[in-house]
Structure 1
Amino acid sequence: MKILVAGDFEPDYNRTKIILDGLRTIPAVFLSFYNYKEQSKWNLAALRKACKEADVIFLPSFTHQDVAMIKFLSGKPVLFDPLISRYLSKVFDYKKVAKFSPRALKNYLKDKIAMQLADLVICDTAGHRDYYHRTFNIPLRKLHVVPVGVNTDEFQPAQALKVRDTFVVGFYGGFIPLQGTRMIVETAKVLKAYPDIHFRLIGNGFEFKVIQQLVQAYQLSNISLAGWVAYDQLAEEMNHFDICLGIFGETLKADLVIPNKIFHYAALEKAIITKESAAIREVFTDGRDILLTENKAEAIAEKILLLKNDQVLRGKLARGAYETVSGRYSHRAIGQMVYELAKQLMPA
């Protein structure tokens, strides 16, 4: 099967990378690429030729604006992975666009038209699938769940670390609203009387400066902001965490996703604490391979103290998380899911 990966996309973006890494493990798949970042969108002859040579065209994350052109130019079946709703993100998550404004309508139509024109649409959770169906009236038969997953070759558990005096509570992310990094700072404030507990936050992004200011305002010495870390160094950094924090955002989007970091932590065999949501329960089970919490600083602090003091439970959750993701949610398994969807689009 010849799959053309097309549009304006980042091949190293985590979601896209996992799918492509997985597809590369399937002998029956031949991948070709027409990325607008490298080749002109308006070289219609070259784009048409690339489409003609493909059996199926895959448009990765965030290529909403490319679906219509690719579909009409190629006449080939299109498999689209939006990953997010632009309408949900900009209007309700980041709150950068007023709900009933022309810009809100524009983003709504970007989502709706792209999903309507695609032959099949990939959703990272059942929650997102139901949201697309309910909000944009996309038929359920077109919407198929493929979890984010993790490249288990790149994220592997480290050997046991040396015993140390400090218990490290780790997090990484882009400091976007759904991640709820403010709640993590509030939790660090609750636990500031425990000198042997230290919070290490990796990454930067949307709310990073706000978080810096909050840490300074609270005069917290038990939290460090490490800044950006290269992708190929993430696993090594996270292997120094004793436990890991997921997401604690209050937005609707936070309830619809299972973020990259949860799969990464699990592949590294780490015990994870994250807010309770229906999306998380699609893959993980509270008390078996994850610890779910009420989304309040005091409740999160209690869970941290529980795992700090109960090494048996910590080990159980870590092993459970690793076992959950290492098979069904590896990049190989994710690639196979996408391949099976592409096969549905092939002529009989």
Structure 2
Amino acid sequence: MKILVAGDFEPDYNRTKIILDGLRTIPAVSLSFYNYKEKSKWNFAALRKACKEADIIFLPAFTHQDVAAIKILSGKPILFDPLISRYLSKVFDYKKVSRFSPRALKNYLKDRISMQLADLVMCDTSCHRDYYHHTFSIPLHKLHVVPVGVNTDEFPPAPALGERDTFVVGFYGGFIPLQGTRMIVETAKLLKEHADIHFRLIGNGFEYKVIQQLVASYQLGNISLPGWVAYDQLAAEMNNFDVCLGIFGETLKADLVIPNKIFHYAALEKAMISKESPAIREIFEDGKDILLTANTAEAIAEKILLLKNNGALRAQLAQGAYETIRTKYNHRAIGQLVYELARQLMPA
């Protein structure tokens, strides 16, 4: 099976990288690429030639704007992975666009038209699938769940840390609204009298400067903000966390996703705390492989103290998380799911 990966995409973006890593493990799959970041999207002859040589065309995360042109130009079956709704993200999550503005309509149409034109659409959770169906009227038979997963070869578990003088509560991310980093800061404020608890928030992004200012205004010495960490150093950083924090955003999008970090933490065999949501319950079970919490600083602080004082529970949750994702949600399993969808699109 020849799959062309096309559009304006980032091959190293976590979601896309996991899928491509997984597909590369399948002997029956041959991958080729036409990435607009490297080749001209206006070179129709070259793009048409690349499409002609493929059986299936895969458009990875965030390529909404490329679906229509490639579908028309190629005439080949299109497997599309939007990952997000542009409309939901810009209007309701980032709140950059007024709900009833022309820009909101433009983003709505980008979602709807791209999903309608694709032959099959991938969704990272069942919650996202239902959102696409009800919001954009995409038929359920076109929508298929492929979880984010994790490349377990790149995120192997390390030996347990054991007891230390400082209990490290860790997080990494892009400081976007759905991650709820403000809530983490409020939690740290409640726990600032616990001198042996330290919060380490890795990354930067949308609200990073706001978080820096908030930490400074609260005069919190129990939070470090080291900034961005290279991908190949991420596992080592997370292996220094005693407990890992998921997401605590208050937007609708936060209820629809299971973020990359949850799968990474689980692969590293770490105990996790995250906001309770319908999406996260699709894979993880409270008290078995994760601790879910009400989305308040008081409730999160209570969970942190519980795990700090109960090493046996931490170990139980960590092992449970690892067992949950080890076989069903590694990159090989995710690649196999994508391959099976591609097979559905092959000519009889």
State whether TM-score is above 0.5.
yes
Counterpart of 1:44 in structure 2 is 44
Counterpart of 2:333 in structure 1 is 333
Indicate whether 1:207 and 2:207 are aligned: yes
SS in 1 for 2:302: helix
Tell me the alpha carbon deviations over residues 230-265 of structure 1, each in whole angstroms, 9 at most, x when there is no partner. 011000000000010000000000000000000000
Counterpart of 1:18 in structure 2 is 18
Indicate whether 1:168 and 2:168 are aligned: yes
Tell me the alpha carbon deviations over residues 1-58 of structure 1, each in whole angstroms, 9 at most, x when there is no partner. 0000000000000000000000000000000000000010011000000000000000
More divergent stretch after superposition (157-166 vs 328-337): 157-166
- RMSD between aligned residues: 0.6
Within 5 A, what are the aligned runs for 1:5-84?
5-84=5-84
Tell me the alpha carbon deviations over residues 122-147 of structure 1, each in whole angstroms, 9 at most, x when there is no partner. 00000000000000000000000000
Structure 2 runs not aligned, ≥5 long: none
Alpha carbons of structure 1 residues 162 and 309: separation in structure 2 relative to 1, 3 Å: closer
> Percent of aligned positions with the same letter in both sequences?
84
Structure 1 runs not aligned, ≥5 long: none
Deviation at 1:159, TM superposition (A): 2.0
Counterpart of 2:109 in structure 1 is 109
**What is the distance in 2 between the residues matched to 1:31 and 1:323?**
31
Residue identity opposite 1:9 in structure 2: F
Deviation at 1:162, TM superposition (A): 5.9
Deviation at 1:152, TM superposition (A): 0.2
Tell me the alpha carbon deviations over residues 139-163 of structure 1, each in whole angstroms, 9 at most, x when there is no partner. 0000000000000000011123364
Counterpart of 1:130 in structure 2 is 130
SS in 2 for 1:327: coil
Counterpart of 2:142 in structure 1 is 142
Within 5 A, what are the aligned runs for 1:75-94?
75-94=75-94
Deviation at 1:308, TM superposition (A): 0.4
Counterpart of 1:234 in structure 2 is 234
Does structure 1 retain, via aligned residues, the 8 Å contact 2:161–2:242? no
**What is the distance in 2 between the residues matched to 1:127 and 1:60?**
19
Tell me the alpha carbon deviations over residues 269-316 of structure 1, each in whole angstroms, 9 at most, x when there is no partner. 000000000000000000000000000000000000000001111000
Tell me the alpha carbon deviations over residues 107-135 of structure 1, each in whole angstroms, 9 at most, x when there is no partner. 00000000000000000000000000000
SS in 1 for 2:273: strand
Residue identity opposite 1:22 in structure 2: G
Counterpart of 2:195 in structure 1 is 195
Deviation at 1:226, TM superposition (A): 1.1
**What is the distance in 2 between the residues matched to 1:161 and 1:62?**
38
Tell me the alpha carbon deviations over residues 192-225 of structure 1, each in whole angstroms, 9 at most, x when there is no partner. 0100000000000000000000000100001100
Counterpart of 1:262 in structure 2 is 262
Residue identity opposite 1:316 in structure 2: Q
Residue identity opposite 2:14 in structure 1: N
Tell me the alpha carbon deviations over residues 49-84 of structure 1, each in whole angstroms, 9 at most, x when there is no partner. 000000000000000000000000000000000000
Query: How many correspondences in the alignment?
Result: 348
**What is the distance in 1 between the residues matched to 2:315 and 2:165?**
18
Residue identity opposite 2:146 in structure 1: V
**TM-score normalised by length of structure 2:** 0.99
Residue identity opposite 1:59 in structure 2: L
Within 5 A, what are the aligned runs for 1:296-315?
296-315=296-315
SS in 2 for 1:57: strand
**TM-score normalised by length of structure 1:** 0.99
**What is the distance in 1 between the residues matched to 2:168 and 2:335?**
34
SS in 1 for 2:201: strand
Deviation at 1:164, TM superposition (A): 2.0
SS in 2 for 1:90: helix
